[in-house]
């Protein structure tokens, strides 16, 4: 047997209704908030991610699936969606038609992370990006929209973590303060952090290694270093969130692991799986469009961890499937042929119907109908068919009656409709 690759998973039919329900709910909300769907390739040039996510991040340093593709050079299975959406916004000149674009996309991402429970190397994200709006009200509205989605999906124990990463004008002063504070504790840092320290000291705030966490405990808060513009922006985000009734917590340790963020960053956590887990995260990236060769346009976006959301909802949402309305039990070749015809006609009319396709006893087929939870069973045998009759059994009331084979599919349809109402 050839097994799937470790860190990957199958999404089986039994679980798919949950995925579809989340997608439907997300699409409804995106529609209402004015976002349009975009579908992009899974494979992009490696350079796109190195330049956008940052080449001193964990993702680019060690987690990307990249390979040489002849003349095209190094290509990568996308580790996240934002870079591709920005690439498309620039390349397709969306900004020329209208700089304001609100887009969403849903699909798989790939990262070579160490496989562990709830973490996959092919994982799914719901991703949304807004271009052309610098206003802090968009930041707050985006968080509000996310919270609305999670509340419709009944996700419990939600909290919003908020921070600002400032801008190129004010971040250097913070970096310096952070650096001089950490340098004293340089010995305690992990290998990754010491290597990246000079180039990107903010990475240390993001590191999960306990000694690094300890070393940055007394780190200064970036919010104390914000310039007037960034400070006003952050205040407006907080004010609007309060106005919308969204509670939040300022987390000075939140940096979100990617280089492109500016100003507002946020993470939505839930305690629904026991420990605190992030279920969505995002932030503003006002410099990225220009950095990737486009016009100077502000932008903000987020990603929802689809897999984790499914794990959470699986705790209280039952998988659902359209119930089976009719099961046909046929005896003899002629009845089998008729049955197959009727099942096909009923399926075409939107009625779920199944039949036996083999030689089995009526008794064992009744058991199968029970197992499939059929609402009705039709028993057709050669003798009955000669008289133009079949037996209809209501599986709930156990009532049986004879019905004519003339117009049988129409009769069954109306019986099923009447039974529903």
Contacts with Zn ion, residue ranges (CB under 5 A): 166-167, 169-170, 190, 193, 207, 209, 212, 227, 230
- Tokens representing 180 are 């001089």
Locate 342 and state its tokens.
């009727």
Q: What's the min distance (Å) between Cβ of 69 and Zn ion?
A: 33
Query: CB 62 → Zn ion: shortest distance, Å?
Result: 14
What size, in residues, is the chain? 421
Burial bucket for residue 150 (CB in 10 Å: 0-12, 13-18, 19+): buried
Nearer to Zn ion, 193 or 412 (CB): 193
State both tokens at 184: 């004293």
User: Minimum distance between the CB of residue 126 and Zn ion, rounded to whole angstroms?
Assistant: 30
Minimum Å gap between C-beta 230 and Zn ion is 3
Q: Nearer Cβ to Zn ion, position 168 or 319?
A: 168
Pairing assessment for the beta strands 262-273 and 275-284 based on DSSP bridges: antiparallel
Choose between 170 and 279: whose C-beta lies nearer to Zn ion.
Answer: 170
Nearest approach in angstroms of CB 135 to Zn ion is 16
Smallest gap from residue 229 Cβ to Zn ion (A): 5
138, two tokens = 């968009």
Which letter, b or e, does each residue of 235-262 get, where b requires 16 or more Cβ atoms within 10 Å of its Cβ? ebbbebbeeeebebeebeebbbbbbbbb
Nearest residue (CB) to Zn ion, 177 versus 273 = 177
CB of 291 to Zn ion, least distance (A): 17
CB of 16 to Zn ion, least distance (A): 39
Strands 43-45 and 74-77: antiparallel
250's tokens? 């300022």
In angstroms, give the least distance from the CB of 279 to Zn ion: 25
Those residues whose C-beta lies under 8 Å from the C-beta of residue 30, and which sit 6 or more positions away, are: 36, 37, 104, 128
């Amino acid at each position: 047997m050839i097994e799937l690759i470790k860190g990957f998973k199958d999404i089986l039919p039994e679980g798919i209704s949950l995925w579809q329900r989340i997608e439907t709910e997300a699409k409804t909300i995106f529609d209402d908030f004015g976002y349009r769907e975009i579908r992009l390739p899974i494979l992009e040039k490696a350079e796109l991610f190195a330049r956008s996510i940052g080449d001193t991040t964990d993702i680019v340093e060690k987690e990307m699936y990249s390979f040489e593709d002849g003349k095209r050079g190094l290509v990568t299975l996308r580790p996240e969606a934002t870079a591709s959406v920005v690439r498309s916004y620039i390349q397709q000149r969306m900004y020329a038609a209208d700089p304001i674009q609100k887009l969403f996309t849903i699909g798989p991402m790939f990262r070579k992370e160490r496989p562990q429970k709830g973490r996959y190397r092919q994982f799914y994200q719901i991703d949304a990006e807004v271009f052309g709006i610098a206003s802090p009200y968009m930041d707050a509205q985006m968080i509000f929209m996310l919270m609305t989605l999670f509340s419709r999906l009944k996700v419990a124990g939600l909290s919003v973590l908020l921070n600002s990463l400032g801008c190129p004008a004010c971040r250097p002063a913070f970096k310096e303060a952070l650096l001089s504070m950490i340098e004293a504790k340089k010995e305690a840092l992990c290998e990754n952090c010491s290597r990246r320290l000079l180039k990107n000291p903010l990475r240390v705030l993001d590191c999960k290694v306990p000694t690094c966490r300890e070393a940055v405990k007394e780190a200064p808060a970036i919010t104390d270093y914000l310039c007037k513009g960034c400070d006003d922006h952050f205040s407006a985000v907080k004010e609007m969130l309060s106005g919308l009734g969204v509670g939040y917590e300022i987390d000075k340790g939140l940096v979100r692991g990617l280089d492109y963020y500016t100003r507002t960053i946020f993470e939505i956590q839930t305690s629904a799986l026991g420990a605190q887990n992030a279920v969505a995260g995002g932030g503003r990236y006002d410099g990225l469009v220009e950095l990737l060769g486009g016009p100077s346009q502000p932008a903000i976006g987020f990603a929802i961890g689809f897999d984790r959301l499914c794990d959470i909802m699986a705790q209280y949402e039952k998988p659902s499937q359209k119930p089976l309305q009719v099961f046909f039990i046929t005896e003899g070749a002629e009845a089998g042929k008729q049955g197959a015809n009727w099942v096909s006609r009923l399926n075409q009319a939107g009625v779920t119907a199944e039949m036996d396709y083999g030689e089995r006893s009526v008794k064992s087929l009744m058991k199968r109908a029970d197992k499939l939870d059929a609402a009705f069973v039709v028993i057709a045998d050669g003798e009955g068919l000669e008289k133009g009759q079949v037996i209809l059994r209501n599986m709930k009331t156990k009532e049986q009656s004879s019905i004519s084979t003339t117009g049988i599919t129409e009769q069954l349809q109306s019986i099923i409709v009447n039974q529903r109402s």
